[in-house]
Amino acid sequence: MNPVYQSLPQIQIFLVVVEKGSFQAAASQLNLPRSSVSKKIQQLEETLGQALFKRSTRRLTITEFGLALAEQTRTLPDIVTRVDRLKEQVHAQPAGKVRISTGIMLGQSCLVPLLAEIRLRMPAIELDISFNDEPVDMLAEGVDIALRTGTLPDSSLIAKQIGQITWCWYASPEYLTRYGQPKTPDDLSQHQCLAFKNSHIAGHHWAFYQPEKETYSVQVKAAITTDNSRALTDMACAGLGIMMITPQVVREEIASGRLVQVLTDWQHPDSAPIHLIGFRKSQRSRAVESVWQYLVKHLKA
């Protein structure tokens, strides 16, 4: 470390001596022995290789170099005060902006119910939440925390698994009254289907399996295809067709009876982990760390 950086406490004492005009007056101001003040000034002079004061038994006179140093460092006390205030803020309540990216329905079903409690516990934290089903480049987009399904996209990130998802098939009671229940996956050719499609999911290919039987895929003819899971759910609730979606994101609709599961004798062959994704702890601000720890503890999927 540069020796000048280590001399910052001595420079602060030097500035008080300049302001007060004597070692004794500075010692009184700083609540230090006069000998300590004199020693600190001597140490600073040795570090800088220059005399700061001309001393006599009756008078203390600042040197030309001392005047230049005082001029260059006169804002140091203000800087130290601002740093101290910043430290107090950091060690008080966590504050600042936390940017979260989440899948649309995953966020609405798992994250949104926690927001009121987060705001109550951490009122000084500003949450910036993006709902999007597409992959996110956390570093490039300035995202602090992501809630996503699937594998971890970047080894420089860390992930905390909070659940596991699979897919099931749902329709509204009104639709089933009108078109009837499909008994097997092959019956879907006679039904209106609603397909969800993004970069991870081929929306028109639905896979099925039963225990001790082979998995097979059905290519459905979708009446409507969308890349928005919220819109997909709303369309299914409106009776427009049968959709394939993870049950975690339609819990409310199932509980209220707006959606009914179909093809219950069949399962989807695949599942995917739900991850809370973020940067390493050493890279998180106190605000991000506070939100991360809360979500790890309370997020359930």
Query: What would the two tokens of residue 74 be?
Result: 């006169």
Please name the fold of domain 3-89.
Arc Repressor Mutant, subunit A (1.10.10)
Please report the pLDDT score of residue 296 as a whole number.
93
Residue that the structure tokens 């289907």 belong to: 193
Q: Output the pLDDT for position 213.
A: 79
Taking only the tens place, the pLDDT of each residue in 88-145 is: 666 667 889 999 999 887 888 889 989 999 999 999 999 999 998 888 899 999 999 9
Neighbours of 180 (CB within 10 A): 11
Question: Which residues lie closer than 8 Å to 105 by C-beta, 6 or more apart?
Answer: 229, 230, 233, 245, 246, 249, 250
Q: Give the pLDDT confidence score for residue 199 in this predicted structure.
A: 45
Q: Where are the domains of the chain?
A: 3-89, 96-159+274-298, 168-269
Q: Check: CATH 3.20.20.30 for 96-159+274-298?
A: no
Residue given tokens 């959709």 in the structure block: 243
pLDDT at 32: 92
The residues near 26 (Cβ < 8 Å, ≥ 6 apart) are 13, 16, 17, 19, 20, 37
Q: In the chain, which stretches have pLDDT less than 50?
A: 1, 199
Domains 3-89 and 96-159+274-298 share a fold: no
Q: Are strands 96-102 and 242-245 parallel, antiparallel or unpaired?
A: unpaired
What is this structure's pTM? 0.56
Give the span between the Cα atoms of 163 and 158, in whole angstroms.
16
User: Contact, 247 vs 187, CB < 8 A?
Assistant: no
Give residue 92's pLDDT.
Answer: 67
Residue entry with tokens 């097997």:
184
Name the residue with tokens 């309370």.
Answer: 298
Q: Which amino acid is at 146?
A: A
Q: CATH for 168-269, among 3.20.20.370, 3.60.20.10, 3.40.190.290, 3.40.50.300?
A: 3.40.190.290
Find residue 149's DSSP bridge partners: 274
Do residues 157 and 278 touch, judged by C-beta distance below 8 A? yes
The pLDDT of residue 215 is 84
- Alpha carbon distance 275, 278 (integer Å): 10
Distance CA 119, CA 203 (A): 37
